[in-house]
Amino acid sequence: MPDLIDPAHSPQPAAQLEVSPKKPRSDVKVTTLQNMKEKGIPVAALSIYDYPFARTAAKAGVDVIIVGDSLGMTVLGYGNTLPVTMDEMIVFASAAVRGAGPVFTVGDMPLGAYQASNEDAVRNAVRFIKEAKCAAVKCEASMKLLPRFEAIANAEVLVMGHLGLNPQKIHEMGGHRIQGKTVESTMELLKTAKALEHAGAFAILLEGVTEEVAGIIHHELKIPVYGIGSGRFTDGQLLIGHDPIDFYDWGTRPVPKYIKHYQSDVGNKTAGQVILDVFSQYVKEVKERKFPFPENVHHIDMEAFKSSQEGRGEDTADILKLMAKLPGDV
């Protein structure tokens, strides 16, 4: 029997008529991040170390992935980040980049990769770009290491400065201590942040810094300033990817207050769908400026702060003036 329907006018399934393909997400570039700062759009970032988690973070709408040397603790089971090697970082960064798609991916320079010389710094930074296909690198920062940042930037590699609580200097710092509690600490952080901007850093990451001091640094810099455990007055938030899904065993140590363990209405969902839900909820709360919540924030003890001036009255007055410019409520 002949076909009574003209193939050219055959009916299409309703789903094909009503649903258009989802528009692919544009690549997040350094210009994207700068534009987001200028427009006041918060950046949602996660530290991710492999292909499947990077794919999930990208689906959740994360803007930035930092492949941190924190993988030494979260993935490799070390007690801290110090043993992590450059070769290990390249392996994990390569995997994460393959899953990240359009997300801006940053490779974290481990201890020993940049401290000894400018040549080491440039060579290892280039490895992240050339071998792992990262968009940028991150280095823990201090005034002593400023020449390393200048060298990397002069080699035309994007470099992010990491200030505040520096895990690679836990012995020097006497442990994981919140920074920006004293006048001296605040002035040093602000001075170093401005120097990093001048040296060519494209962004700053503040870790474990009091909210008020993080807000001052954000206000004083033109480049993006992101925070992990550094309050709400920044251009975006970072969490270790394992923390919102409660996938890291803190043992007998208290879970840091800046971490939120997200919940999911599991139902019939797979483990992968639950992780996607958690990452998506985190992104949504960052974009809506809900996370971090007040209970996740470290504040300055103002009485202790003022008493820490020790002859630095002028510095204290300047800092208090800068604090007065911060929003009274978030």
pLDDT in tens, 192-217: 999 999 999 999 999 999 999 999 99
* d(C-alpha 137, C-alpha 122), whole Å: 10
* Residue 4 located in a structural domain: no
User: Does the pLDDT at position 93 exceed 90?
Assistant: yes
Q: What's the total number of domains in the chain?
A: 1
* Residue 311 located in a structural domain: yes
Range of the domain at 153: 26-323
Catalytic residue among 140, 150, 197, 207: 207
Contacts with 190 (C-beta within 8 Å, 6 or more apart), sequence order:
213, 216, 217, 220
* Residue 261 located in a structural domain: yes
Is 207 marked active-site? yes
Gyration radius from the chain CA atoms? 22
Q: Of 33-47, 179-193, 253-267, 306-320, where does the model show the most confidence?
A: 33-47
User: Which CATH number fits the domain that encloses residue 304?
Assistant: 3.20.20.60
Q: How confident is the model at residue 174 (pLDDT cuts 50, 70, 90)?
A: low
* Residue 229 located in a structural domain: yes
Nearest to 188 by CA among 146, 235, 232, 231: 146
Residue 229 φ/ψ region, left for φ over 0, alpha for ψ in the -120 to 50 degree band, beta for the rest: left
Q: What is the pLDDT of residues 265-293, one digit of tens each?
A: 777 899 999 999 999 999 999 999 999 99
1, with CB counted inside 10 A (0-12, 13-18, 19+), is exposed
In DSSP terms, which residues pair with 44 in a beta bridge?
237
Contacts with 173 (C-beta within 8 Å, 6 or more apart), sequence order:
165, 166
* Residue 15 located in a structural domain: no
φ/ψ of 65, rounded to 5, equals -115, 125
Q: What DSSP string describes 174-240? A: TSS--B--SHHHHHHHHHHHHHHHHHT-SEEEEESB-HHHHHHHHHH-SS-EEEESS-SSSSEEEEE
pLDDT at 147: 98
Nearest to 62 by CA among 104, 96, 32, 23: 104
Q: Are 93 and 147 in contact (CB under 8 A)?
A: no
Q: Are 209 and 189 in contact (CB under 8 A)?
A: yes
* Residue 268 located in a structural domain: yes
Residues 320, 189, 327: CA angle, nearest 5 degrees:
40
Supply the pTM of this predicted model. Answer: 0.88
In DSSP terms, which residues pair with 136 in a beta bridge?
106
Q: How far is CA 152 from each of CA 167, 168, 189, rounded to the nearest angstrom? A: 21, 19, 21
* Residue 1 located in a structural domain: no
* Residue 241 located in a structural domain: yes
pLDDT at 172: 61
- Name which of 21-35, 72-86, 92-106, 310-324 the model is least confident about: 310-324
* d(C-alpha 304, C-alpha 263), whole Å: 37
User: Does the pLDDT at position 107 exceed 90?
Assistant: yes
Contacts with 49 (C-beta within 8 Å, 6 or more apart), sequence order:
67, 68, 71, 74, 75, 92, 95, 96, 241
